[in-house]
Structure formats: structure tokens, C-alpha cells
Structure 1
Amino acid sequence: MIRLKNEDEINGIRKSCHLLAAMFKEVLPQVKAGMSTKQVDDLCKNFIIGHGGTPAWYSEDFPGAACISVNEEVIHGIPSTKKIIHDGDIVCLDVGIDLDGYISDSTHSVLVGNVPEKVRKLDEVTLEALQAGIVACRTGNRIKDISRAVYEVAAKHGYGVVYDYCGHGVGLDVHEDPSIPNVPDWGGANPRIQPGMVLAIEPMINLGTADVKTAKDGWTVITCDGLPSAHEEHTVAVFEDHTEILTKL
């Protein structure tokens, strides 16, 4: 069931999203080669808790405040003291905040040091795909208009668009209906976009194959060919005459 939010609920979600954007502004410049992903997670956790929030992924039993996915890791990378960030890595931070019961969700990729040009281009295109998806997210369109917009941007570059995982409704729970696939021929419902929807749009784009698998830890999703992946995400709220990017930095 799709939960349309009222003005008070959107205001609460907006506050959570603005806090998340502030966290990213503080944390992203600190992600450097030589750090462990656990150190990055601690930065996120300390900011969130220090500002009166709770890491949203704790309610999902995820072992971290942030999903930190490096290179071939697509999503759900578990923070670890043993996982060290190196020069040339692409590091994707997927973070959510529960602030007084209102949930935000956003992802940003950090290009650490001398990242290969092909990986920089991959992230640029992923950002372009995200923006195209947001433009297509407007009252009167359908969810798969978002999917089509994301897919067309990525596919013209020959990238693999992840189809096993997708965006989703958000705001009162971490994951809500509707699902928002990044490929238009994905099965499932295709509801009309309505005012009051709050959606997490999140392209996951791979340098090579679109196929992914889950690592032995039971959480981390990796590309089947071992090539890098990029992930970018915003939470948006839909109104009658516009769509607001709530997590905009």
C-alpha cells in the first residue's frame, strides 16, 4: 500500500532529510585513503546521534550506521576495521536517519584520489541518471517513467543497470511501496505518481554486467564480473506542481 504523506509528515521527513544532507556535507570531505570503512561509519554514526537522530539501518538489523560499498560492491557493504580505503577507490555511502520517527535516505559516491577516468565517468553518468529520474518523477507520470529515464541515460553508455534492487517509497518506514526499478521492463506494478508520495530514487549502475550476487557475509551485493559500480540516491517529495529534492546538499 502506498502511503501518501500529509503536510506535517512531509515537514518531519524534510527535517530528517536536511539533517542527512548536513551529515554528508561534513563527512564526505573526510573520506580519505588509509581510513577503514568502520572509521567512516563512526563519523556518520557520531554525527547522527550527536544531532538527536538514530541511524535508520539499525531498524533493519544492518551492522552499521552506513552501508559503505567499495569498488565492485554495489550496495550494503558492511563497515569493517579490516576494509581499508585505497587511492583510486570509489566509495559509496548509503545512509538513512530516523529523526523523531521520520526517515531520510540518500547515497553519495566518493572518488578517492587518482580514480581511473572510466570510473569517474561511470559516477558522472549515474548522477545524470539520478537527475533524469527525478525530472521524470512528477504528478501524473507513472513510476516506470522514472525507470525509463534512469535506464536510457545509463544504457546509452553501455553500462549495466542493476535490476535485482530498486528504489522505493520512504519517510514513515525505511522501505515502503512503491518499488522503483531502474529498468523499465522490470515486472510489478506501475502506479501513477501522486502528490504526497515520498520516494527514494537510486540508480545503481555497473561498469560491466548488470548481474549481481550476494557475498558470503549475507549483506554485501557485488558485481558478478568484479568491475566497479556507482550508486547515487536522493529522497524526493512529490507535490501537485513540483517535486522537491529533500536530501539535496
Structure 2
Amino acid sequence: MSITTEAELAGMRKISKCVALVLKAMREHCKPGMTTLELDEFGGNILTEMGAKSAPKLTYGFPGYTCISVNNAVAHGMPSADVVLQDGDLINIDVSAELNGFWGDNGGSFVLGEDQNDHQKLVEASKEILKLAISQIRGGVKIADIGKLIETQAAKRGFTVIKNLAGHGIGYSLHEEPHDILNCYDRFNTTRFRKNSVVAIETFISTKSTIANTSDDNWTLVGNKGGYVAQHEHTIMVTSAEPVILTEANGIWD
């Protein structure tokens, strides 16, 4: 969407704050021994209390309020009573929702408890690269150039990127134009960011894989070469200067 009125900006600020606070609350509530289903229901209850509706449920009939991906899962992890969280797990929580006709999206990866498996370096890379990418976005900047920056910064840190997952426009629905804000350079994409547009920018930084494939549960995505992936995501409004980070309250920079 392109924000043209104060009412639209207020609506986007409200839903963005909502998903941000739910993500932060879920991260703080997460404990070893908890199942991903229990964690999801905790987040779902907060969304309901705020009057918001789960975007994955509403849009795709997803069997959960939020996507919770653990260890080798890249994204779209399906909450389950069979997945018990352990100390040292690499966890990604992605919260997106609708409120009063406006949609917000955010996510973040973190290590649960002690970093027993040396995942923190990957998590920090994902956060740092997202922060750098967002700082470079302005109206008129080529989307492909941001993809190139993300890919280059990942390589400098010894990582790869998932090339078939992307950020996207958002606002009046979960996924809008532009649909392909990739983590890699696409020389055929000449689209530029537009001032006042709202987009969800996300990193998918990987230790090995470059492509995400759908697993047997028909929801969870896994890497084509194994390894681990860290993802971080903010919903932002593009301006002529630095973007407005609408989901800043999720605390993923912490």
C-alpha cells in the first residue's frame, strides 16, 4: 500500500505495534520444555485480546496463529504438540496479523537459553544485515540493489542466503506489490522502492542452503542443503530519508 492519509498511517502503526508486541511477548514467554503448540496458543490469545486476527490463518488456512520454526526448519514452521523446545535450540517466530483492515508482519530468530550449538553468530548476522539493509532503503532505490547488499554482506560473514524467499509489500493485505524483495541480486528486477509505500523487509541468512523446499507436512520449509537459517523481519514505511520502522517495538535489535 501507499500511505496517503493520517488514518492509513494510524492504522498501520496500530497493527504493526500489535504484531511487534506479540512477537516480543512470545520470545520472553518461550522456555525449554514448552511445545511449539503451547507457545503458539499463548501468542494467539494475545492477538485475540487485541482484536487482531492471525494473518496465516486468515489468508492461507494455516494450522496455527503464528509460524514457529525450530533448528533446521527455514520458515513457516507448523506449531505442534510433538515439538518440545530444548535449551540451545535455534527458534524463529513469525507473527503477522490483520486489525481493522490493516496488516502487519514481523519475525525474528533467537537462541533459546545457552548457545550450545554456536548459532548466535548466525542470528547476529541476520539482525545486522537487516538493520543495514533497512538503513539504505529510500524512495527511488532499486529493490535489486538491496538484495545485492544482503547477499554480499552474508558472504562477507561466511554465510549464504535463501534465494527463493522474499520480503513483500503489505498494508491492505498480507502480500502486495512488490512481491519479490529478494535476499539476492536479480538483474532483471528494475522495480524501485516508492516513497510512502509499506513493505516487509526480511533476511534469510543461511549456513549452507540457498533454496527452501516444502517438507512433508506441506507447510514447513527446509533448506535444500541442510544447515540452519536465521530470519529477521520488520514492516517499514519508505520515505525520502531513513524508513519508519513500524514494528520497532518487537525488540529484535535487542
Aligned equivalent of 1:184 = 185
Aligned equivalent of 1:17 = 16
Please state whether the residue corresponding to 2:13 is helix, strand or coil: helix
Query: Identity of aligned pairs, percent?
Result: 33
The residue identity in structure 2 corresponding to 1:12 is G
Please state whether the residue corresponding to 1:177 is helix, strand or coil: strand
Contact 1:33 1:112 in 2 (8 A): yes
The residue identity in structure 2 corresponding to 1:17 is S
Contact 2:136 2:242 in 1 (8 A): no
Task: List gaps (5 residues or longer) in structure 2.
Answer: 250-254
* Structure 2 length-normalised TM: 0.92
Moved more, 140-149 or 111-120: 111-120
Aligned equivalent of 2:40 = 41
Contact 2:97 2:104 in 1 (8 A): yes
Aligned equivalent of 2:3 = 5
Deviation track 1:186-230 (CA, whole Å, cap 9, x = no partner) reads x65331222121011111111112233210011111123331211
Aligned equivalent of 1:165 = 165
Q: Distance in 1 between matches of 2:80 and 2:219?
A: 13
* Structure 1 length-normalised TM: 0.94
The residue identity in structure 2 corresponding to 1:93 is I
Aligned equivalent of 1:30 = 29
Please state whether the residue corresponding to 1:236 is helix, strand or coil: strand
Aligned equivalent of 2:242 = 242
The residue identity in structure 1 corresponding to 2:137 is C
Moved more, 101-110 or 112-121: 112-121
Contact 1:167 1:201 in 2 (8 A): yes
Q: Distance in 1 between matches of 2:191 and 2:93?
A: 29
The residue identity in structure 1 corresponding to 2:11 is G
Superposition pairs of residues 78-93 of structure 1, within 5 angstroms: 78-93=78-93
Superposition pairs of residues 149-160 of structure 1, within 5 angstroms: 149-160=149-160
The residue identity in structure 1 corresponding to 2:148 is R
Q: Distance in 2 between matches of 1:72 and 1:195?
A: 37
Please state whether the residue corresponding to 1:18 is helix, strand or coil: helix
Aligned equivalent of 2:61 = 61
Contact 1:159 1:209 in 2 (8 A): no
Q: CA RMSD in A?
A: 1.5
Deviation track 1:151-198 (CA, whole Å, cap 9, x = no partner) reads 12111122120001111001111011112000013x653312221210
The residue identity in structure 1 corresponding to 2:29 is Q
Q: Distance in 2 between matches of 1:188 and 1:57?
A: 30
Superposition pairs of residues 128-147 of structure 1, within 5 angstroms: 128-147=128-147
Contact 2:19 2:97 in 1 (8 A): yes
Aligned equivalent of 2:252 = none
Please state whether the residue corresponding to 2:92 is helix, strand or coil: strand
Aligned equivalent of 1:113 = 113
Aligned equivalent of 1:197 = 197
Task: List gaps (5 residues or longer) in structure 1.
Answer: none
Aligned equivalent of 1:73 = 73
Q: Distance in 2 between matches of 1:224 and 1:140?
A: 34
Give 1:239 shift.
2.1
Q: Distance in 2 between matches of 1:210 and 1:75?
A: 13
Q: Distance in 2 between matches of 1:68 and 1:25?
A: 14
Q: Distance in 1 between matches of 2:209 and 2:17?
A: 35
The residue identity in structure 2 corresponding to 1:181 is L
Q: Distance in 2 between matches of 1:139 and 1:117?
A: 40
Contact 1:18 1:246 in 2 (8 A): yes
